[in-house]
Chain A
Amino acid sequence: MVTLPSETKPITMDTFLRGVWEENPVFVMLLGLCPALAVTNSAVNAIGMGGATIFVLLGSSALVSLLRNLIPKQVRIASYIVIIATFVTIVDYAIHALSLELYGALGAFIQLIVVNCVILGRAESFASKHRITKSLVNALGVGVGFTFALLCVGGVREILGAGTLFGFSLFGESFQPWVVMVLPPGGFLVTGAWLLVFAWLKERKQRTVAQREEALHAAG
């Protein structure tokens, strides 16, 4: 069997970091939006959902990577979905057993992790083509990036909408919470605001790169 070049490349920090920042699943790739908006009405829920997604990402990436040479191309999507659904079911039971409160807060969205395009995307584009350790690192990176994005949205929504962060009151009694932030419209608006921030950062970076190239051109 020919070893493909990508399989022999060592695991670098890049394998991990790419999923966190450059290819952030929510803010850059616009994947996994449903949970990103639905359960981010508080920072704790955001972490809970992020953690559950990381578990499913790691489990499914590991299993897909282990079985990657056995799964025929024709049935790969169906197989990936079954594997993902298995781990989602497991994490659903686990959360229910660990914390009734978190389970009540996340509700049906735990089971909806199975249609989170981030996970299927990882399985299809990475785990099925790389060995297990590399797949796990990449999956962890994407999972951390996803949780980071969720935390950004959840944190802002909780601070503005309830005056607390992780349950700790920040502003004292007289704070009038901006309640709409913890309601559905708030989810859209806060995510839109973060997307604006990221778009602005990207444009700024492109401008500095263009300026640098111009300077080089002028000098050369």
Chain B
Amino acid sequence: MQPDSLWFIFLSAFLINNFVLAYFLGLCPFLGVSGKMDTAWNMGLATTFVMFVSSLCAYGINLLLVEYHMEFLRLISYIAVIAAAVQLVEMTVKKLSPTLFRALGIFLPLITTNCAILGVALFQTTRDYNFFQSLVFSIGAGAGFTLALMLMAGLRTRMDLADVPSISRGAAMSFMIAGLLSLTFMGFAGLGAH
């Protein structure tokens, strides 16, 4: 598989260099929303959609910035685009499914500060991905984020009922579990290599 083939880019973002477990991006929602399986799934879906839209816009904006030699505005414009994309998703979710909107609560606007989304935009720029590579990259990143969230949710639902020392309840245990998950994902290295 060629290193810059679309399939490899997707696989890399999804499994090999999973955004949460390998790059440490998107940790706040990862720890905050992974309590229940369906909230995790919905959050993952919403985040993937925002990533996709932001990636598109970031690609377009970057072309403009490079054209007019205004690269120093890159960070500010990316953030603005992400905030706008989140607003868009918020309005869509509110209209399509008010129950989902209430379930996600405060976490929806918090997607703006999800470093994973800015991470997608920044990585695709530094790695010089073309249009299709960027799209596939963002979908892979979103899918990987959702996968990590779902796995975490499943594990935490189990652990909630288990008999663990009181000092480890909450954040400490989540981190330990995440560490083991991350260790497991290291096994994906070399997937698809020739």
Q: Is the interface of A mostly helix, strand, loop or mixed?
A: helix
Interface size bracket, A side: 35 or more
* Known A34-B24, A185-B179: A89·B118 in contact at CB below 8 Å: no
Bound state CA distance, A51 and B135, in angstroms?
Answer: 35
Give the nearest-CB partner of B171 in chain A: A195
Does A11 have its Cβ within 8 Å of any Cβ on chain B? Answer: no
- B window 61-80: CB within 8 A of A: 72, 75-76, 79-80
Which chain B residues lie closer than 8 Å to A120 at the CB level? 113
The answer on a CB contact under 8 Å between A192 and B173 is yes
* Known A185-B183, A185-B186: A111·B75 in contact at CB below 8 Å: yes
- A window 124-172: CB within 8 A of B: none
What is the interface size of chain B, counting residues whose CB is below 8 A from a CB of the partner?
40
Does B43 have its Cβ within 8 Å of any Cβ on chain A? Answer: no
Bound state CA distance, A218 and B161, in angstroms?
Answer: 37
The answer on a CB contact under 8 Å between B171 and A30 is yes
Contact pattern, A 69-81, Cβ under 8 Å of B = 1, otherwise 0: 0000000001001
Which listed residue (B113, B170, B171, B183) contacts A117, Cβ 8 A? B113
The answer on a CB contact under 8 Å between A184 and B167 is no
Bound state CA distance, A180 and B76, in angstroms?
Answer: 36
Contact pattern, A 82-117, Cβ under 8 Å of B = 1, otherwise 0: 100110110011000000000000001001101111
A residues sitting closer than 8 Å to B (CB atoms) are 30-31, 33-34, 37-38, 78, 81-82, 85-86, 88-89, 92-93, 108, 111-112, 114-117, 120, 180, 183-189, 191-193, 195-196, 199-200, 203
